[in-house]
Copies of this chain bind each other. A is one copy, B any other.
């Protein structure tokens, strides 16, 4: 594999830092790593393969000789700078929601729709965290038995909101333990020892944007607009790892034993389902494992095509940074053939 030049846009953010880590951990063939951020964060240093790399200010001219530009600095930055990267000859892998539903932009999870990655026009979108772990778990069921309906309720960690939200949870928790007044800045309500049934803004249909992302993105990635999917997204006082309670209704009856056998063989999936030893996916396990963890697999007792499962993944890694790097690996692998 030839070495390539990589730019990380939003390098000092929670996901940007994970991108740099993931590139190192996976021995990604990096020739030059260019770290980009806002003027405020430029001048900081991040470690990569034992070297300190200075963060530069993002400008239109930051993308000379860049092969892959990994964006994770929010939608408005992606909308403003992605075309400059493409014009300079880079492939943009964008972690924001800016282009996800754009017909010209593939939305890719390498375990699910790798073929789509090759149909890009310069930009490939990385799906939302809560969608990625869902579709990785759904794909083998879909291929084997078809999926008619999906009903999902999420338990999402604060790191999905960013570093400030992690600080807010920790500070509020400390305040409550010390019987002091809590401060709120990031979330509209206390997040410590509480559950917020709101992630992102509300749309006119009374769903949140986070819920609508799961609905729209799942259909696009699965190439199936007929799947009936509904979602409820909730924020929980957890630092890392999103959990999802997922109910599926399949076209054909699928037995749990065969599904377990399939999951055991799937790359990117870790089956954690030994209930009599209290083994099932836990949010805190996502700090150790990069795989999408699946457990609590069981048949609905009332509907013969119904399956319940519990899905956990690290929202900053498989839900963001790792998936983006895997997309770059996919394209690179193909170039090598």
Contact = CB atoms under 8 A, between A and B. Distances in A.
A275 interface: yes
Nearest to A256: B206
In which size bucket is the chain A interface?
Answer: 35 or more
A202 B297 CA distance: 13
Q: Is the interface of A mostly helix, strand, loop or mixed?
A: mixed
A303 B149 contact: yes
A288 interface: no
A245 B193 contact: no
Contact of A194 (B149, B284, B299, B302): B284
Interface stretch (A1-9, A225-233, A329-337): A225-233
A163 interface: no
Q: Give the number of times this chain occurs in the complex, counting copies.
A: 2
A308 interface: yes
Nearest to A244: B153
Given A202-B275, A230-B302, A280 B238 contact: no
Q: Which of A194, A215, A247, A280 has the most CB of B within 10 A?
A: A194
Contacts of A68: none
25 contacts: A153-B232, A153-B245, A155-B236, A174-B177, A188-B278, A190-B282, A190-B284, A195-B283, A196-B282, A197-B245, A198-B278, A198-B280, A202-B275, A205-B298, A205-B299, A205-B301, A206-B256, A215-B301, A230-B300, A230-B301, A232-B245, A232-B247, A232-B310, A234-B243, A234-B245
